[in-house]
Structure 1
Amino acid sequence: MRSRYAAYVLKDFDYIVETTDPDTTDLFDHDANRAWLEQSSFIGLQVLSSSEKGSRGTVEFIARYQRGDGPEQSHHERSQFRKHKGRWYFSEGEAVG
């Protein structure tokens, strides 16, 4: 999770794609996500909880960011991860509240 956040900070879109579950990559809107990433500046990450059970993991976090000259915003999400061949991949995320 933290490495993916660092990739957002560094605008390393390739890493975001590489760490997305290969079973769900086709569902990922690459153009829209790249454009959103390029327009955003990330300010902070707070991991609220994490759990792991076998090859599945969950991380709940709040990421703070700003788009362009707009106001600071926050994104609260519960993300699901899947471990495949020894590496964790983001599978899906659900916005919280």
Structure 2
Amino acid sequence: MPNLLPSQPCPCGRQANKRPLAYAACCGRYLDHFDNAPAPDAESLMRSRYSAFVLERADYLLATWHISHRPASIEFDPGVKWLGLEVRSYRLVDDTHAEVEFVARQKPATGPAVRLHERSRFICETGRWYYLDGDLT
């Protein structure tokens, strides 16, 4: 499992004043403190889930996946290098539903780089956002 120092740039690429946010000030606060620091909105949850894939944090991915669509387990492909995340759009549908369109890029251990372009759906229950499902585009 990859390690990341709290002061290193967050894998999700979020910036403030054109500078990358530190992991601890960005997704790290959600990944490392899920029980008492849930992501405040669907975009933050999506970004933190991307960071969880980079860091191979199956615990966080499963905990933030809505129970109606949650897999029993998550396996990570060995040797994958995540190359970046681009959030294309964020739309609050209503108080408890949102959509995030993003492109995530990765390089498998063998073969060419891959783009994952998805329009994801999120639901908020009891003050927590969860990944529901998504459509690949």
TM-score, L = length of structure 2: 0.62
Which is higher, the Rg of structure 1 or of structure 2? Answer: 2
Q: What is the identity, as a one-letter code, of the residue corresponding to 2:91?
A: S
Identity across the alignment (%): 35
Q: Decide whether aligned partners of structure 1 residues 35 and 89 sit closer, same or farther in structure 2, where only a CA change above 3 A counts.
A: same
CA distance in 2, matches of 1:65, 1:57: 25
What do you get for the CA RMSD once the two structures are aligned?
Answer: 1.4
2:91 to 35, 51, 55: 51
Q: Secondary structure at the match of 2:75?
A: helix
2:121 pairs with 1:76: no
Q: Secondary structure at the match of 2:53?
A: helix
Unaligned runs of 5+ in 2: 1-45
> Quick check: 2:56–2:76 contact (8 Å CA) kept in 1?
no
Q: Secondary structure at the match of 2:66?
A: coil
Give the number of the structure whose residues are more often strand, by fraction: 1
Counterpart for residue 7 of structure 1:
52
Unaligned runs of 5+ in 1: none
2:101 to 43, 60, 72: 60
Give the number of the structure whose residues are more often helix, by fraction: 1
Q: What is the identity, as a one-letter code, of the residue corresponding to 1:69?
A: T
